[in-house]
């Protein structure tokens, strides 16, 4: 018996993810896949077209806008089942996304063999979180952060500047800058803002 038709909107510029969806949907399913590569394009698509049954969003899409963007997409298609594709497993991010209205958080690395099962599950009333094996293990480079570095990272994510962080801990601003450079290096971040994004994505704060 053929499965019911499922119209899907995929938001990603990642060609590997696009290929995985195309491959999965070509193997015996009668699904309709539309692809957008930017948040703005996806919002316009949802505004102009009949709402799909499923929207799959790559959380690694450049310029996505984080969880706020997901909220906007959900408002545009409140009856649509939204799947979040994550590159870094984080229970904290998954919980926030589910509270927002996302119905499933799954690894972006899912194979074409896995996708049909996920698409079937998300059409049921239960929320779904799929994490790869070892997801609860702390990555090596995360363990390299010292207690003070984690404290400073938490205040950075709260929007505090170096001067405010220094005042909080009773240390010199130059010391905060030193710790900040270390955090950026250990997380492989480009700058302070990127470090904060990585920290939130990994559930470090």
Q: Tell whether pTM > 0.75.
A: no
Taking only the tens place, the pLDDT of each residue in 111-125 is 888 888 888 888 787
Please report the domains of the chain, with CATH numbers, ordered by start residue.
7-129 (3.40.50.2300), 140-202 (1.10.10.10)
Taking only the tens place, the pLDDT of each residue in 64-98 is 878 888 889 999 998 899 999 988 777 777 888 88
Q: Which distant-in-sequence residues (6+ apart) come within 8 Å of 51 by Cβ?
A: 76, 77, 79, 80
């Amino acid at each position: 018996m053929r499965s019911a038709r499922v119209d899907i909107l995929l938001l990603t510029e990642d060609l590997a993810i696009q290929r995985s969806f195309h491959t999965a949907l070509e193997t015996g399913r009668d699904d309709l896949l539309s692809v957008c590569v930017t948040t703005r394009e996806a919002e316009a698509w949802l505004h102009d077209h009949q709402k799909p049954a499923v929207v799959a969003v790559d959380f690694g899409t450049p310029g996505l806008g984080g969880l706020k963007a997901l909220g906007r997409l959900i408002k545009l298609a409140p009856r649509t089942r939204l799947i979040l594709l994550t590159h870094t497993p984080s229970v904290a991010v998954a919980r926030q996304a589910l509270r927002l209205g996302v119905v499933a958080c799954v690894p972006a690395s899912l194979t074409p063999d896995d996708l049909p099962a996920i698409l079937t599950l998300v059409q049921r009333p239960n929320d779904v979180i799929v994490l790869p094996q070892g997801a609860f293990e702390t990555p090596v480079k995360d363990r390299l952060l010292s207690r003070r570095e984690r404290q400073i990272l938490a205040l950075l994510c709260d929007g505090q500047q170096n001067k405010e962080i220094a005042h909080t801990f009773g240390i010199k601003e130059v010391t905060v800058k030193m710790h900040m450079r270390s955090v950026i290096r250990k997380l492989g971040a480009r700058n302070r803002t990127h470090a904060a994004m990585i920290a939130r994505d990994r559930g470090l704060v």
